[in-house]
Structure 1
Amino acid sequence: MNETTEDGNSTYNFKVENNETESYNESNLISKCELPILIIKKHLQEQNGMKYRDFAQYRRYCTRKLHRLRSLLNLKCGRNKFQKSYLESAKEYKDPKHFLILILLIERCWSFGNELGSIENTSKTKVNNRNRLHGIRKLKKGCKIVDFLVENAQNQCTSRTIVEIKAYQSYILGNYYLKCSNWECAVSELKKSIDIYQQLKLDVSSLISDRKNIFSVLNIPLLSKPECTKIYDNHISELVPLIRLSLYHCKRLGIVIPNDQIVDQFQGSTFGESNSNKKIVYNNNEYSVPASIFEMPLVELEESYSKIKGLIPLDETIKAPNYPNETIIDYYSETLMCSSLLSSKINDEITNITANTGLSPLSGGSSEDWRVFELYVREFNLLVSIERDMILLLQLMEYFSKPEHQINQIFNEKSDKICTNLNIHKKQISRSPEEGVRVCDLLNFSISEINSSNSLDSNILKLTVLITHTVGNCRSMFLSHFYGRNGKFQEAYLLCDLVRSRSEIKEMDYQKIVRDKNGYVERIIFLIKIINNILSNMVHDSFNIYLCCIVDRESSQPKIEWSERNIHDILNNETLKPHLMPIPVKPIMFDVAFDFIVPPNILNKMRKNGIVNKIFSKASQKLGIFK
């Protein structure tokens, strides 16, 4: 409705009649609106032309969506050319759809202004200031609607939404000042917008839990926490070139920026760095996180690993875990994914800084922080994967530690009778030694990655020595079971004797390693202790079993009856005293066997060279073993 003042000028009443709002269902009204404006805006832009910088398509979508929302809310629009459309008063802003109308109005003005600017930039004819001024007027109109949005959001929206609206306001103002060539104000507003978005991305949990009211209207799918954080990071990276452009024109025109920190952050070789307060501990020293964009991924990485420690506790007071392999892999998948994403983000940031400044951050003044942070994330990934594989190895060792399983696999042809005598259920036996060999090879690969990374942490290097020793013994034991299952008892006996000859890890070796802040070193040491305890008993039993099998095969005496009573005597008392040692074992064989025996490959059986290296085959060809 139009009203006339004393001076004769007409004003517009923005109130809505009561009968128009009563038709709207009051059950949908909420006291506080939660509006993730950036996520809404980015989703609408990606789905409606902005993926290919088509401003016209996005502007047409905003117009269509405005008509639908106004019809849904029973809001009248002016049909006259000289009559503006009605906007709700502040008292009527109780539903997110009312705020969505203002957001779409702002986005339509923004897209129209950028569309006119792109036409002006790509035009082959003479530059027409009419399009430029028309685009400025559209952006100015968007700034007024943003002010109206900020005013009405004070009492109707949550505190986070109010802060995000202010960041959105600074973004629109920054674009307006860029069009007006007001470079100093553009730098100030865009920098303010970046600062707010960097704080908002640190906590996006409220966007995931309370967003059903507005997301269902726009058909926005459910987004995870990393996806929401990525949207904020991408938007911040889009604002950085605009600030750099404004700083360039300020320098060209001799305009002095009052805040020198802005120049230091977005110009020169220090681009990409920040005064991050987050610290990491590496090699008993504290280092700063080199850039603020790494803070949120690092927090997510630490939180996901803390969740693993709650699901799979590893402590001397708690029994070792016993979970299916799929469950263990699922527990660790999120942490390993977070560390991989953080590593790729570090590499991308180093590449971007090098391309923009011509100087790598690894060779600048803060190169130590970058180098240490890169090593820290890489070793975190490798050690967490080692912890996962050692849990799988522990479960395999517990499975094969029972001598009944070994005997059943050795005498596979007549296992029915032996299982009956030893009270074993054959259906329960389903795992193979090759699985353990593969797990050991994965662990050896992870250890080699740590050793090849030029690690600065002496504590990690000491830990890898213990892991290598334990994994080597476990691998030899699994190989001995593989040969024993195939009836090659001499090879199985030799590998068991190899493990017996190795020195055990003493308690003082564990005490040399300093416990870390995250806890993965302490958890790995706990796994090493349990595996070595199982291994010491397992070696003793396997050695006696294979020795007895060799004598039983070569002896002219009656065959041994594998009964429950007899196996107890063989394993514990060592009553069997052979007159002739099965193999003349030499100490040099132990090192050769450990270095050159490769895991059995079922798909490609190396018939010419066997499953051992040529060097070991040549050294042991007289004995006729490992063929």
Structure 2
Amino acid sequence: MAAPAESMTEESPTEDVPPEKTFTVEVLQLVKEAQQQHGMRHGDFQRYRSYCSRRIRRIRKSLHFPQGSKHKVQPKKITVEKLTDVRYLHLPLFCAERAWYYAMQLKSEANTEPRKKFHMLARIKKALMYAEEFATLCASPKCDARTKLESQAYLSLLKGGLYFEQEDWKAAMEFYTKAKTIYEKLGSAFTEDIQQLYLQQVEEITPNLRYCAYNIGDQSAIDELKELRRKGGEDQLTSHLDDLLSQTREKQTATLSEVKWQGRTVPVKNEPVRIFLLNLQDSTKEIASAEGVDSKISIYESVLKQCIDAQQVLRDSLQDDQNFKLAIRGQEIDGKVSNQHYLHTYLTFIRLSKTIERNLLLIEQLKDYLPGKKVEEGHKITKPQDLVRLYDIIIQNLNEIPNLTGVEGDTSLSEETAVRVQGYKAFRSYYIAQSYLGAKKWKEAISLYERVLQNARNALKGYKSLPKVQQTQFKMEVNNLEELVRHVDGEKYSCHASSVLDINDVTDQMGAMTVNPKQPLMDRLEDYADDSSLTSKKPNLVSFPPDFESIPCRPLFFDLALNHIDLPSLDKHLEQKAAANPRGLTGFVKGWLWGGSK
């Protein structure tokens, strides 16, 4: 019996063993798709966190891998031996995603509640713990090379984010560089569709690397950061870039000690106001060199935000100024406006002016999508009413400028503003006319075109009466008005011709109509036709006698209450009658025949 056993032991190692299954997790693609579909496209951290929680719960339920019961939590650690399904790898990945974006939500709320910054750092460390667990599992032989690389890149990205928030620039730069290198290598190894995803991730990491390099001491990185800011990217670095660009100008604030506006020089004592005024000088160059309308609008939004912050600083310092309190209430001021109050007025003027410039950019962008122009598929067509609303805002901002505190008596500013208002009213009337034109209201459109020409010509005369410096400043607006006048001159006659053609079309349509003359006029009032019988001695006006029509009959009423009434008993009356005649029928007959007794 020993021989067969011995032969079996010798043959058992030569049996075929099934190869161990390897798993693939496309980490970046999986995460990006989940983010785009569940709130992160709009920056909704709460929605994405809720999705991650629901997905984790579904995975645990499908794998029969709960973390305890309803009454007690019993955490279970995922080991390499338990990796029998790829969904086990999804658990730590989405746990890390949930913790990371909870931290991003707390970061956005930490501006008003500073204590949330500590909670944010705790959640980032929690996300890092899950990412390390995910990378450890992916490093096992059960995962392929792509999964191992992507898990390392994901872990390095989260580590870089932690050190970035802790302002450990050297360590953050090290991990960001590692993640960037992995994504670049992965991008070069796949097809174009997947390659684009990796390269996009590389572009998102690049600003963080530049920022870390600058804080380490690389002064040449500031130019690249300015270029990145001009592109208007929307990521976690945007607020840091604005702060950084402000910090680089702090050294120049000593040279800016006063500003001159409308013939009055006022000192600038507040540091945030000085930084804003320096940023304002550089923003003009940034806007000129920015590519695309979206980038320029992003710069304008940043300038307006800084302007509002600078105004708030001045407002806090003017709490004891009585004239400032009266100005806020809209009351008249006694005496001269203080320097700080006048500086606040200057900042208000800047805010209104920059808002007007931003709205003009929005108008130029919307003009490309008006009806009649070639519009890209999927893009919303602009209605003329949208442009009318923007011009209304511009006119409202211009009307506020002459009423600012401290410049009420400045006639030159009032004249300049009045001329610009006249010009923008011409543009507003033009787009109102365009909306009437689309509705084929020819008379209203022609009347509005006349008003456009009147306002535009008055504005052009007003621009010519301004000083040469202001004429040069508003040369672009003059050119736009002259082009508007030329365009409306032709479009007015085109509108008139369209109205005539529209009338002819109606006449032709009515002439082609056929009406049955046997039908009475009363039944065809809506149809026009030349019926000669109507002027004869017997016109067919109405049907006489009129046709019978069915009408509803009078309703029947039934006395249903009688069935529910209890009538009084008559027994008492019957007993009284019997008592009155006790002798009955015999007595009655006797009385009748013999007279009865008296």
TM-score by structure 2 length? 0.33
TM-score by structure 1 length? 0.32
Which is bigger in relative contact order (C-alpha 8 A, separation at least 6)?
A: 1
